[in-house]
Chains A and B, each alone.
Chain A
């Protein structure tokens, strides 16, 4: 029964990775950029949530919404200021800029508030309850349910709304999308907004789950979410979800087997294996040339 418990823990950790991975994959899908500043947006989300809860006394859901909104704006601004002018530059130039932005955000945050960690307030009641003999924490369950709701909402936006269809069109063929009358800049901004909002939500969940946040907290989860996105197939939205969940479960299983020191290594071993044996990821097809 301990296994059920570990599985639930793994899935809720995985859903946090999945939320971050979605932003990576959406941005990559539309402008072919690995946005390495994405982990920092996640960190900003965690801090906005922290200040909203402990400073202003907001509840979990208002704080979550606030963090998502701030992160959405933040993502749009980063794209507007840093990436838009590099759209026709080489991909390596944009990638280096992304790493630069990532460092900039980390150290601006440290400059203003210091590097000391912060203890996340207890905003969700954490009761354990018995589920067929397994102890499941209500916190894990809450995080899992909210993440799933956000992912369903995302699927709805991408497949059923006009902006979602525009996003898919731009990611497939930017010029053809222009010919349909789609404003490519607005569509890319919307993609950054949505991806960043999800990272902001992940930041709040992470804070609630691990109770400790600090300005460099975005680095490792950011990299792991990147692994998750590659695992599922970068640029493919369901791939990011599955990749994130899978990675969370693998990490928890590795810990549960008594190799908790190897937990972080597991993610990167997966990355190496994926790149060696199936670089296009679980859901990726081998790129076909258009005829």
Chain B
């Protein structure tokens, strides 16, 4: 079972140090990945929480949008956890894929690489591999089909219930 839950913003600094931080953003606590700043958590059991945290970073490196918070990347990859719970082969694909990525990255693992370019270089090496394709292919829908992210890109979604755009700017362009 994976739960994304909104919690109280901001764990205490002491709590944060005790739990050990992942980069600057994500915290692993027991079976959960937590974002103390953004006040959400992702509880995992089929996949290791470290694996989920790396998947979240990997998702951002594949489809980097600096204006999109981590929460939506976490939601986008949680399907792998659900599939892994039902399908041991999928679990192995993800766990092994992440483990190999960490190995390639050397000491500190994938998440320990400070620059996106460094991480992308590793992803480029494996972009033909089934593991990468499974993660990337799923993301195209699971990231961009979240209605909550559409406004971040200026996409307004459903319009019928609002009467279409006939009185709401279908031809409001002014700079031409």
Do A and B originate from a single complex? no
